[in-house]
Amino acid sequence: MKLLFDFLPIVAFFVCYKFFGIFVATAIAMIIVSAQVLLFWLQHRRFELTQIITLVLILIFGGATLFSHNEMFIKWKPTALYWIFAIVFIASNLIGKKPVIEHLMGGKISLPKNVWSRLNISWAIFFSMMGIINIYVAYKFNTNTWVNFKLFGILGGTLLFGILQSVYITKFLQTEPETK
């Protein structure tokens, strides 16, 4: 359910773009992300860092898009988000006791320290590459193609990468011995 909640702004952006254009889609995305952060705070009385980063970026890039009537600003938003994530993942490998990926998943599974580090680096590379690919599509293709890529390419790429990570993780899962 949380995954659906997290992808709601992307899907709403896509649908609104198809019916009303890039500027209405941008405004709707800004409203939905703001509402999501507010609802999360009302439920949990706290914020998640990724929500705050996403909110700030959608307000900055979306606001610049609407104010200047230049769609290139909103096209840069996914790249900015991915590059911030990449920096955070890389920094967590260099600074701190645990990589970000271990903080996110460590309570659910147990893996050797070097595997957490490799997973973290692979996500940093993934986020860096997705940012580069997004900018390439934004500049080389029309807005319709970019919007389709944003929904299907980015979402599909993220799901595929997540599946590949899951397959990799299964080799290293530390299970408790069976008791008879």
- Tokens read off for 106: 């460590």
Query: CB of 54 within 8 A of CB of 61?
Result: no
SS3 label, residue 109: coil
Query: For the CA atoms of 83, 37, 149, 11, what is the dihedral angle to 10 degrees?
Result: 170
Name, in order, each residue with C-beta under 8 angstroms of 11's C-beta and a sequence gap of 6 or more. Answer: 151
Alpha-carbon distance of 155 to 86, in angstroms, equals: 17
- The per-residue pLDDT string of the chain (180 residues; one tens digit each, 9 = 90 and over) reads 566 677 889 999 999 999 999 999 999 999 999 999 999 999 999 998 889 999 999 999 999 999 999 999 999 999 999 999 999 999 998 998 899 999 888 778 888 889 999 999 999 999 999 999 999 999 999 999 999 999 999 989 999 999 999 999 998 876 554 444
List the chain domain ranges. 2-170
* Contact assessment for residue 109 and residue 133, using Cβ atoms and an 8 Å cutoff: no
| CA dist., res. 68 & res. 169, Å (int) | 45
| Residue-wise DSSP of 80-91 | HHHHHHHHHHHH
